[in-house]
Structure 1
Amino acid sequence: MSFRRFSCFLYMLCPFIVQAVTKDITCPASCECETIFGAKEVDCYNLTDFPSNIPEDTNYLDLSGCNIFHIPIQPLEKLFKLQRFAFQEINTNEDNYNLRALNLPLLNEIVVDGGVSTSIPQLLPPYISTLSVAENNLGTLKSGSFRNYPNLDSLFLSDCMLTKLESGVLDDIPSLSLLQFNDNNLNEDSFPLDVFKKNQALESVSFFDNELKHVVSNLPSSVTSVDYSGNAIFELRAYDFKSTPKLIYLSSTKYGMKITVM
């Protein structure tokens, strides 16, 4: 393609690029506001108080770069188009962000990564479908942790120092389809035999970078994808997958080592 034709192509493309990413001149101080392919995103940094004048048509709000000790519910209630809300969980006192009464029909995802919590937060909106609680210090995932979130279909528990799951801990979220345990300290003894019995909608599970020496043999029959990469699994046996007849994707290498299928 000649330079002139390429220039012409870029000229024709510019309106679409501008339409895909645009800046918002009404953005609150210390925040960045962009509209990306029709979705309005607001990212804030270094704030100690909840930002004022957030655009009411915001779709994604991220306060993870802030040091806010109290998240009031009143200004959030005005964000009628909010779909995803991320904030860094900086305090174990959940009263600082009691969002159970928040009524936003489009809000489906909450991200509370990077905190000091030793348990799953219980004061988030009960209707959310996606929850990420990565980079916390959970240790043991206790029974009843998800009783307030019956609609969860995606759960991210990466880098939470997890060593064990209690029996029944996943019973309250039967619609769960995606589960991620990446970067923890889980082994095959960390999972009670009945821990997945109520999760017959589960399709994708990731155990990336844990301490497994054998595969988890009691996954539900609905599972189609499993990632065991980064574990110490050196052989796979045919009966290891007896419970997952629909499995179509399996990743099971450690540092490039080839696994022998028996």
Structure 2
Amino acid sequence: MQGPRRTDPSSYQAATKLLWVLVVVTYASRHAQGQAARACDSSGRSVACTCNSDIERVVCSRSGDLKAVPSGIPTDTVYLDLNGNKLTSLPRMAFQQLSKLRAIVLSRNEISDIQLGAFDGLDGSLTELQLQENKLTNLKVGTFENLPLVNQLHLKNNMLADLSVGVFRGLVSLRSLFLNGNRITTLPVGIFSDLPSLHIVFLPRNGIESLDNILPALPTYVSVIDLQGNKISRLDRDAFARFENLTTLSLNENGLGNLESGVFNGLVALSRLYLDDNKITSLPQGLFLGLEKLSLLSVENNQLVELSGNSFGDHPSFNVISFENNNISRIEAGLFSRFPTLGSINLASNNLTSLPAGTFDSLAELDFLELEKNRLETLHPNLFLDLRNAWSIKLGHNNIKTLPTGLFRATTKLHVLYINNNAISSLPQDIFSPLSQLISLGLENNQITVIDDGTFNLTNLESIQLNGNPLTNISCKMFPTTNMSLYAIDVDCTCEWIPVYDCPEFDFLGSRVTCAKPRKLWYDKLNEISKDVLTCGAPRMACFGLAGWVALAGVVMLVSAFISV
């Protein structure tokens, strides 16, 4: 008797592929004829969407071809994602029978029209509506009238220009309004009068040139105003005096010149002020006077040349201050000491050549100090004496030639120290010994030749960068061999490392020493390469010697004479 016939497995695969092709063709055909695609089938998946009933989430952004809201969305859906499709309009009752929706994502479509009543039926659930990156040029009065629970409305990167009073009517719970990247240069007074909960207003990159037609429309109770990336070149005295609840103000990237005293009058609650990427050359006397709640001040990427104490008032909550990338060459003595609560100071990328003793006195709470990319040559031995809680100090990319003995004697809680890209030729004995909590030490690209044994005997040290230094006389005891935390020592792998192969602890050291140079050994571990491949670098020009220069000159003269013949 003949047994049951076996079917070739490949025929199953072919049939499955054929069935899927038919599904896709059917979907494309119906979609081309204007029929709404179906979101979910019994498997919870379709060509258009993925439906997760466990978290009541439907995502329809896989195909990117939807031109209408799909049918068949489960009625218990809470999160609907239609991002990145080709919807051009939203008709009335576009989301009918989806009364449990809390969030709708319609970003990155081509929506240019929203019919009145498009969101009807969502009044008892919807809290977030995302319409960013579409083609909206206007919004009808009443568009959002029946959305009393929405607290976030995203309209950024559209083409909105003129907004009418009443357009946001009904959004009584709206807290955050995102209008970034539109063409809004004026706002009519009363446009936000229907929004009693509005606290955060984003208006970056709208081409706003004057605040005279913007600020009067904003409610006095807003707490965040973001105006970065506009064309505001002038601020009047008392410009923000109405906003006594304002906590955050961003004026970055506007082309602002010097500000007059009194421009921030009345901002008694302001805690964060951003003035980055403008054209400010000086801070006038009393500019920040009255900002007693100020905790963060950022004036990066401007043209300041000095910092004076008379620009400031009493700021008992000052925590973060950043003047990175200016032209600062002078800091008034005692300026920072007036603010003992400072936790972070950023003075990177300026023109500082020296820092007098006392510059950082009384800053026991300071965690982060950035002094990279200046022109510092010397450091006072007591410069960091009061920084007993400092976590990170960065001194890279200066012209520091020596580190005074005892420079880090008080910074016992330091975890990160970068002194890379300087002109340091030697390290004082025990310079790092107080740093028992140090994790990362950057010394790369200096001129260090000899390092005393035990210099890096720090129990918590994890990484040391020494590449770009002409190290010589490397000994077995230069690095700790019992510190199991140490995992990376970056160096230039030259013939100077050959003696290390005979160290009793080579297995430990060799597995942690990583070659940064030469290129052919880049990222190799020392224990992975033969000592025979380690070569001595070419002599430095500084060591070429008089005889060498005379010989070189002779060769040049001979070559020149040969060419002339």
TM-score range, shorter chain: 0.7 to 0.9
1:52 corresponds, among 49, 52, 71, to: 71
- Aligned pair 1:161/2:161, yes or no? no
RMSD: 3.1
In the comparison of the two structures, how many residue pairs are matched?
235
2:155 maps to a residue whose letter is: V
Per the alignment, do residues 27 and 52 of structure 1 end up closer, same or farther by CA in structure 2, a change over 3 Å counting? farther
State the distance in 1 between where 2:169 and 2:98 align: 26
Q: Deviations over 1:205-243 (max 9, x none)?
A: 111211112347235111101111111123344411113
Q: TM-score, normalised on structure 2?
A: 0.37
Q: Which has the larger radius of gyration?
A: 2
State the distance in 2 between where 1:195 and 1:28 align: 47
1:83 corresponds, among 74, 96, 102, to: 102
Offset, 1:136: 2.0
Per the alignment, do residues 259 and 145 of structure 1 end up closer, same or farther by CA in structure 2, a change over 3 Å counting? farther
The range that moved more, 204-213 or 232-241, is: 232-241
- Aligned pair 1:149/2:171, yes or no? yes
Matches of residues 100-249 of structure 1 in structure 2 within 5 Å? 100-121=119-140, 122-124=142-144, 125-127=146-148, 128-191=150-213, 194-196=216-218, 199-215=219-235, 217-218=239-240, 220-249=243-272
Q: TM-score, normalised on structure 1?
A: 0.75
| More relative contact order, 1 or 2 (CA 8 Å, 6+ apart) | 1
Task: Structure 1: give runs of 5+ residues left out of the alignment.
Answer: 1-23
Per the alignment, do residues 104 and 210 of structure 1 end up closer, same or farther by CA in structure 2, a change over 3 Å counting? same
State the distance in 1 between where 2:111 and 2:247 align: 37
State the distance in 2 between where 1:69 and 1:192 align: 30
Q: Deviations over 1:102-160 (max 9, x none)?
A: 23522111122223322235423331222111222222333333234333211010111
Per the alignment, do residues 190 and 25 of structure 1 end up closer, same or farther by CA in structure 2, a change over 3 Å counting? farther
Per the alignment, do residues 110 and 245 of structure 1 end up closer, same or farther by CA in structure 2, a change over 3 Å counting? same
State the distance in 2 between where 1:248 and 1:55 align: 45
Per the alignment, do residues 65 and 133 of structure 1 end up closer, same or farther by CA in structure 2, a change over 3 Å counting? same
Q: Which residue of 1 aligns with 2:349?
A: none
SS at match of 2:82: strand
State the distance in 2 between where 1:224 and 1:82 align: 32
Contact 1:28 1:52 (C-alpha < 8 Å) held by counterparts: no
2:154 maps to a residue whose letter is: S
- Aligned pair 1:65/2:84, yes or no? yes
State the distance in 2 between where 1:56 and 1:153 align: 27
Q: Which residue of 1 aligns with 2:301?
A: 257
State the distance in 1 between where 2:86 and 2:209 align: 35
Contact 1:202 1:222 (C-alpha < 8 Å) held by counterparts: yes
State the distance in 2 between where 1:253 and 1:35 align: 46
SS at match of 1:188: coil
- Aligned pair 1:94/2:117, yes or no? no
Per the alignment, do residues 55 and 119 of structure 1 end up closer, same or farther by CA in structure 2, a change over 3 Å counting? same
Per the alignment, do residues 102 and 90 of structure 1 end up closer, same or farther by CA in structure 2, a change over 3 Å counting? farther
Q: Which residue of 2 aligns with 1:30?
A: 48
1:94 maps to a residue whose letter is: I
Offset, 1:51: 1.8
Q: Which has the higher strand share?
A: 1
2:57 corresponds, among 12, 27, 40, to: 40
Per the alignment, do residues 34 and 231 of structure 1 end up closer, same or farther by CA in structure 2, a change over 3 Å counting? farther
SS at match of 1:194: helix
Contact 1:229 1:252 (C-alpha < 8 Å) held by counterparts: yes
Offset, 1:177: 0.6
2:164 maps to a residue whose letter is: K
Offset, 1:56: 3.6
